[in-house]
Chains A and B, each alone.
Chain A
């Protein structure tokens, strides 16, 4: 019953957050200078054509009216249509006259649903890689914080956190893809294309995992219940894996909730560099092309993912350690 109440409360809060994010992005896009119509009709079009198209698209109505129209569509599950992307998938800007009021522009909903699985796949593989690196280093560092494992954990973490992700990506493309030809780098035509971007993302995530593991494991190993387990004569392996790690998992789960925001940032850049057709790639292109409906759709999707992940993280923490307050 407690959990049901918790879920209802958090989902209600989540809806408010998503609503606020959409309102914020919607308003910002229209208040901040930079007219999408100018990009759509091309730089040479006379001012009256710009105005005509803008009026037709509803961009000259008061923001409240525009937002109301958008929300009405959203309640029916309609995220609107892209300004830039026709259904055929080609992008036409500038020279050729594109009419965004036409029916053959791609729906934002489909654009996002098409790319979301690819991004989730990338994030999932990256998390697996990051855990593979962070677990041994972090656990060793937490068990012997003053010995060489502690130094190794600190060194890896300082090094990884200091490497700019986009630069690492370029260097890896140059070495592993161009020079050695081991892995494909650009685009997406099968699972092999996930590996290189996932490595870059993993290097970005791993230091936080290592840090949290060493710190929390180090603290836990000094607590009374571990001493007690030692007195009871439990084997070391059982103490570490059965008792200590279980407790260290709570801060680890929380960390993922907190770091999600920077993870999203990483995905954005990495997808852009590797030309990986996921949500991050779509975001960058939409921002550069001032594709308002697509940006709004992505912002709503991202904040929904945000809300969802944070609820899941709290549930996981509660499942591991019932003392955690929901």
Chain B
């Protein structure tokens, strides 16, 4: 019985359920999986560390210290030196601090970019699915066109030719990713438009915009938002790639891509410079991917799909 109700989708039966909104159902289902809990714990730890440690650390992420160059990490030196747990880089800067500041930028760019893609994509998608007609035709042709252009070449071209700053990076990455969201939101909006409660609201005299933003959007958007979590990881990798190519955040500001790119020269004698940011990034990405996968599974379960 519960399955049949869930299979009917959101909207019709949502108010009757004790659990409340779809968002809460998805979250509570996901919370029951071990993968989500592990991912969530690691993610929160990293988030807190990157928020707090750079403020507390006695070092500066960009200031050089020539006397402290190439110090090995804690467990490798002759004696344990707690000053630099992850060692220092070629300019004597604390690696732990640089990694955490890099993580800050990486997370910030990942989350903001996905938020931008989500707002632009879902906004246009809802509009196109709900209003139909000319809106639909224009917006969908636009998505088709953009999906068939290799955006990566476009992105690195723009960033390579203009000076990359945090806002331009977010803008370029965000503009390259919105069409997929538009497609998903549109198909959900088309399905929602035919539902009983929307017709009911029309009869009562509610306008299109009012129905869309006050009633339909709260049903359509949360499931898409949960799947967007996986995109954060994708964008974070992309940001690191840009940094690696020299098209991301410019040095001396630490970012994973530039640190790893610079570290290549010292790979043989000071391997830790390139390794630790990679491990940080990989751990953060695994955490996000674990959460994202669990949320996606939970969404499918709540919707009664596969």
Binding site for B on A (CB under 8 A): 17, 20-21, 24-25, 28-29, 32-34, 154, 158-159, 161-167, 170-171, 173-174, 178, 215, 218-219, 261-262, 264-265, 268-269, 272, 283-284, 287-288, 290, 295, 298-299, 302-303, 306-307, 310
Contacts and interface: CB of A to CB of B under 8 A. Distances in A.
Interface residues of B, number: 47
A171 to B, nearest CB: 7
Contacts of A165: 237, 241
B241 A218 contact: no
B306 interface: yes
Given A17-B148, A158-B289, A167-B260, A290 B160 contact: yes
B129 interface: no
Residue with the highest number of chain A CB atoms closer than 10 Å, among B241, B247, B256, B293 = B241
A268 B154 contact: no
A272 B293 CA distance: 31
A115 to B, nearest CB: 15
Given A167-B281, A303-B150, 8 more contacts: A25-B154, A28-B158, A29-B157, A164-B278, A170-B274, A171-B275, A288-B246, A299-B154
Contacts of A17: 145, 148-149
Interface string B272-306: 00110110011101100110010000000000001
A178 B290 CA distance: 33
A21 to B, nearest CB: 5
Interface string B213-252: 0000000000000000000010001101100111100000
B267 A170 contact: yes
A33 B157 CA distance: 11
Nearest to B271: A174
B282 A162 contact: yes
B306 A164 contact: no
> Which secondary structure dominates where chain A touches chain B?
helix
B146 to A, nearest CB: 10
B282 A261 contact: no
Contact of A303 (B148, B163, B289): B148
B153 interface: yes
Interface string B249-266: 000000011001101100
Contacts of A174: 267-268, 271
B76 to A, nearest CB: 16
A29 B154 CA distance: 10
B160 A288 contact: yes
A32 B161 contact: yes
Interface of B: 35, 145, 148-154, 156-158, 160-163, 233, 237-238, 240-241, 244-247, 256-257, 260-261, 263-264, 267-268, 271, 274-275, 277-278, 281-283, 285-286, 289-290, 293, 306
B225 to A, nearest CB: 20
Contacts of A163: 282, 285
Contacts of B285: 161-164
Nearest to A298: B153
Contact of A154 (B145, B274, B293): B293
B1 to A, nearest CB: 21
B259 to A, nearest CB: 10
A197 to B, nearest CB: 15
Given A34-B161, A162-B286, A303 B306 contact: no
Contacts of B233: 161-162
A196 B244 CA distance: 19
B289 A24 contact: no
A244 B247 CA distance: 45
B153 A158 contact: no
A265 B150 CA distance: 9
B274 A302 contact: no
Contact of B149 (A24, A29, A166, A218): A24
The 4 closest A-B pairs by CB, nearest first: A287-B160, A167-B278, A162-B285, A34-B161
Contacts of A159: 286
Given A167-B274, A171-B278, A28 B154 contact: yes
Nearest to A35: B161
Given A164-B281, A166-B240, A178-B268, A32 B162 contact: yes
